[in-house]
Structure 1
Amino acid sequence: MIKALLLVPVLAFLASQELYASVSAFAGDSVATTVATEDTAKYKPDTSKVAQQVLPFEEAAEVFPIETDELIMDRMSCLQGTIPLTFNPYVRQFVDYFTIKNRKYTRRMLERENVYFPLFEKYLAKYNMPQELKYLAVVESGLNPKAVSRTKAMGLWQFMAPTGRDFKLTQNQYIDERLDPEKSTDAACRYLKMLHNMFGDWQVALAAYNCGQGNVKKAIKKAGGVTDFWAIFPHLPLETRGYVPSFIAVNYAMNHATDHNLFADTLLYAHDTDTLHINDYLDLERFSEHICVSTSQLMDLNPALKVKYVPEHFRNFPLKVPAHCSEFIAHNRGWLLDSCRRGSGTPEPMIALLPDNLKPEASAKNTRKFENKKSLYVVRRGDVLGKIADDNGVSLSNLKKWNKLKSNKIMPGQKLVVMKTVPVSPKKQAVATQPTQLAKAPAAKDKPAATIAASPEKTVAQTSATTPAT
């Protein structure tokens, strides 16, 4: 009875309001990718005129039902869980938005739900929280882990930088854990639990998640101390007034999509991954070459990384890799990590291993010389191009260049050209540095013959391995 009385002035207030102009303003995915471009500010949902709405051509060609308030209310009553799914004209407006006006957005969420909902459900169960909170990420980010809002909130749960730091999400020049699905979900659960403990009402907690505890406390004070979302509704920021109704509408739309003829165009699922713990510098571009996946795919599996390497000071960094690479990585972990450290795979690795007195940059007294030597390697079953390059002390890019390879694919029996930097043999070097006698001048000129020592032959070894000998 009390809530019914409270709703009277609220609904009167709603009657004079337009639907919050930008559902996409709190759906970070739409903001980040500018998918939602329609002018929702002009969309004033009136349930009696929904069928007359002018829809985009793509949507107008679809057949979908216009459900009555009574039917939607009945369906919502069957979905009721811990968080009240209040139905009123304002919520109905958002139901229409997700089931009629922006069906494309809802279909996209249906495509992605299998990727992220299992993760959300795991953490919600861990903290003993209502499972329906998983739909909040649909409102926040459109289930896009890389979503960035116009206010620089980031990730699936749209953490602002200060709030992220409050909940131990690391943010620096190398990494932003607001973009990490696991860690940001854990932080979001802790934050929402804290807000619920603070206000004792889930709808009010959701409002605080959107606009902050301070704004909610002010709204409660203006409403006479009543801790009820619909009572404080007129005193909340405009965006927050649409936030909770949108959460309720998304909950309904995702559960009753088929009743509105809404189906995913495709179904996405999370990649099967394994975790490799890294304790030293790792060049991800080189590492991805070795395990035959694209660098972009590896970065997608690790969205928190802002750079294409794991810094040397990171300890026990959990690098996610495709599960199908696990066996190869397990059998080749040593050389894989070694070859991807800072400074590895340099053009002249063989020279670096030589004693100082044999290096071409040694003092003038050093008479040893070097040259590039061409050799052939016959591919054996089980060989990997990256390992062949490392075993021969050359870079993968050079090996591919020397053999005109466009990919890392090789076949048993295939012959590969390998250019190695080796010292010139003492005998060959002695011949090269031996003085040369010049011929006598013509007798007619009557000048004595001159003997001039030839300058030492230029070394070939100082040519980088990145420049094969021709």
Structure 2
Amino acid sequence: MTLTSCQSHSPEQAATPPVKVEQKVAKGKTAKKALKNQLAKKPLTDLWDRTRQGLAMDLDNNHPRVLAELRWYKKNQGYFNRVSNRASPYFYFILMEAEKRGVPLELALMPIVESAFDPFAYSHAGASGLWQFMPATGEHYGLEQNWWYDGRRDVVEATRAALDYMVSLHKMFDDWELALAAFNSGPGRVMNAVNKNKRRGKSTRFWDLDLPSETTAYVPKLIALGKIVRDPAKYGIKLKSIPNKPHFAKVKTGGQLDMAKAANLAGITLNELYRLNPGINRWSTPPSGPHHLLVPVAKAESFRAELAQLPAEKRMQWQRYSVKSGDSLIRIANTFNTKPGLIKEANKMETDLIRVGQSLLIPVAVKEKEEYALTAPQRRIAKQNTQRAGRHRLNHSVKSGDSFWSIAKKYNTGVQELARWNGMSPRDNLRIGQQLVVWTKTNAPRDGVVRRVNYKVRNGDSLSRIADKFNVAVAQIKTWNTFDSKYLQPGQQLTLYVDVTRAYE
């Protein structure tokens, strides 16, 4: 593959005589060769060392945009500490996949620029995961996205897709810098910029193209990262060591499995299991797959053995439900935090028709939903509960005809703000009955009245049920009340602040 050969735009280099430039390049090549020879002599116990051996882009580029990114990085050692900690479970696999394809190992640093190695990162534009795939691009590269699962966050599948996409873009542009720009803003936009410069007789190198500001900063960020990884001491940065060995192994589950049970069988925490499997949206693995989980290498064999001993009926927890007047499959599914299709499948139903008194078998989570803190709904709730200084929280239930624009206008706030408060993108679809939070500088919307309400805990109540009933957050109830026990007791009095203009069941 042809690697991009970029030269600096700095005035000092422009004024350097040609002979001296050649000498400088020769010295640079000699230094790179010496570094590789030095690394080759010692065993590679650290992934940063392994990365240095495969850096292949022009890291001697001192374009002002690169230097600007370097200045920021040099001042932010804490950023590299966080990135190294987050990257630790994933970096070995990503580096291995990049090496398999023979691409410059700067590409393995792309998740730093894209998401700071946060597998749950979600942008205002709707991009998701370590590699920040947009929905359409993800679908094009085989990343399935549904209620149960989002392949854009699946570490293995998204890495495969991202590197395949980069190889495809390099074939298109024959230039890694243009390929990186196309990954960020789309190949069509970059091709149009290239063609525009061709027509005007201008350079078609990345550094000379008219591209969006985010894209013009994207490549410099990666080049600057490459410089730091190549020689962190030169920039006053210390890269926390990441062991040069696999962190996780893939274990076939053979079917749907509650994530809490899986974590228990694997001997790890539920949060650790979700961080290795961030594509799982709900409390269990998807009924239609993928039927595998990533677990720490050291736990893989014991997990396989425990799974083999687990009876099929114990993989999930089931609850019998008797259909009541006014019930529908959708209403029942919402009550039990599941999907109508799964209820139909579990009960071998061919239609959505149900009758009063009919007994249904419902798959339910083993633990309270708050325990599954890294599922998509709970991550969104955590985002919604993030306190905003100087603002008051209000809850809005989406009604027919609502949009981000109309809701933002009602509460006199911005569309981007509203989406961000709810862990969403303005492009996301809203559904009737969906609960949104609005952080306003006033106590209530124009048509809402917030009042203090005393609530007496009943049999079967939980914090989440009470929160859902009064359209408030569990965190708010905890803030408004002092609990002497982890569990609620029937007859216990709670103080709530609710919008009394709403009707509650």
TM-score, normalising length from structure 1?
0.53
* Deviations 1:345-365 (CA, angstroms, capped at 9, x unpaired): 989xxxxxxxxxxxxxxxxxx
Q: Quote the residue 2:174 is aligned against.
A: 200
Q: Quote the residue 1:122 is aligned against.
A: 96
The counterpart of 2:116, out of the listed 119, 142, 146, is 142
Q: Quote the residue 2:235 is aligned against.
A: 260
The counterpart of 1:230, out of the listed 207, 231, 235, is 207
Deviation of the 1:117 alpha carbon: 3.1
Amino acid across the alignment from 1:108? R
Deviation of the 1:324 alpha carbon: 4.5
Residue 266 of structure 2 corresponds to residue 288 of structure 1: no
Deviation of the 1:221 alpha carbon: 2.3
Residue 278 of structure 2 corresponds to residue 303 of structure 1: yes
Answer yes or no: is the 8 Å Cα contact 2:265–2:307 preserved in 1: no
Deviation of the 1:108 alpha carbon: 2.5
The counterpart of 1:152, out of the listed 126, 136, 148, is 126
Q: Partners in 2 of 1:212 and 1:286 — Cα distance?
A: 41
Answer yes or no: is the 8 Å Cα contact 1:139–1:247 preserved in 2: yes
Q: 1:125 to 1:327 in 2, by over 3 A?
A: closer
Q: Partners in 1 of 2:249 and 2:313 — Cα distance?
A: 21
Q: Quote the residue 2:253 is aligned against.
A: 278
Residue 81 of structure 2 corresponds to residue 107 of structure 1: yes
Q: Quote the residue 1:131 is aligned against.
A: 105
The structure number with the bigger radius of gyration is 1
Q: Quote the residue 2:141 is aligned against.
A: 167
Q: 1:305 to 1:136 in 2, by over 3 A?
A: same
Q: CA RMSD in A?
A: 3.8
Q: Partners in 2 of 1:259 and 1:177 — Cα distance?
A: 38
Q: 1:273 to 1:121 in 2, by over 3 A?
A: closer
Q: Partners in 1 of 2:307 and 2:7 — Cα distance?
A: 68
Q: 1:161 to 1:84 in 2, by over 3 A?
A: same
Deviation of the 1:96 alpha carbon: 0.8
Answer yes or no: is the 8 Å Cα contact 1:279–1:312 preserved in 2: no
* Deviations 1:170-226 (CA, angstroms, capped at 9, x unpaired): 111111111111111111111111111111111111111111112112211221254
**What is the aligned length?**
285
Deviation of the 1:297 alpha carbon: 2.2
Identity of aligned residues (%): 29
Q: Partners in 1 of 2:145 and 2:253 — Cα distance?
A: 19
Secondary structure of the equivalent of 2:121? coil
Residue 187 of structure 2 corresponds to residue 250 of structure 1: no
Amino acid across the alignment from 2:234? D
Q: Partners in 2 of 1:264 and 1:137 — Cα distance?
A: 16
Deviation of the 1:342 alpha carbon: 3.9
Q: Partners in 1 of 2:319 and 2:251 — Cα distance?
A: 21
Deviation of the 1:268 alpha carbon: 7.9
Q: Quote the residue 1:370 is aligned against.
A: none
Residue 98 of structure 2 corresponds to residue 97 of structure 1: no
Answer yes or no: is the 8 Å Cα contact 2:69–2:220 preserved in 1: yes
Answer yes or no: is the 8 Å Cα contact 1:148–1:158 preserved in 2: yes
Secondary structure of the equivalent of 1:196? helix
Q: Partners in 2 of 1:6 and 1:251 — Cα distance?
A: 16
* Deviations 1:311-348 (CA, angstroms, capped at 9, x unpaired): 3333x61112344444544444344252533455989x
Secondary structure of the equivalent of 1:179? coil
Secondary structure of the equivalent of 2:310? helix
Q: Partners in 2 of 1:343 and 1:112 — Cα distance?
A: 32
Answer yes or no: is the 8 Å Cα contact 1:174–1:306 preserved in 2: yes
Answer yes or no: is the 8 Å Cα contact 1:135–1:247 preserved in 2: yes
Q: 1:106 to 1:230 in 2, by over 3 A?
A: same
Q: 1:216 to 1:396 in 2, by over 3 A?
A: closer
Deviation of the 1:122 alpha carbon: 1.3
The counterpart of 1:220, out of the listed 165, 179, 194, is 194
TM-score, normalising length from structure 2?
0.49
Q: 1:286 to 1:113 in 2, by over 3 A?
A: closer
* Deviations 1:234-275 (CA, angstroms, capped at 9, x unpaired): x11111111111111111123322233322568688884443
Q: Partners in 2 of 1:75 and 1:97 — Cα distance?
A: 27
Gaps of 5+ in 2: 15-23, 33-51, 322-364, 368-505
Q: Quote the residue 1:28 is aligned against.
A: none
Q: 1:210 to 1:172 in 2, by over 3 A?
A: same
Secondary structure of the equivalent of 1:313? coil
Q: Partners in 2 of 1:114 and 1:289 — Cα distance?
A: 23
The counterpart of 1:84, out of the listed 58, 74, 77, is 58
Secondary structure of the equivalent of 1:319? strand
* Deviations 1:50-93 (CA, angstroms, capped at 9, x unpaired): xxxxxxxxxxxxxxxxxxxx9xx969984895422322222111
Answer yes or no: is the 8 Å Cα contact 2:316–2:366 preserved in 1: no
Q: Partners in 1 of 2:366 and 2:183 — Cα distance?
A: 49
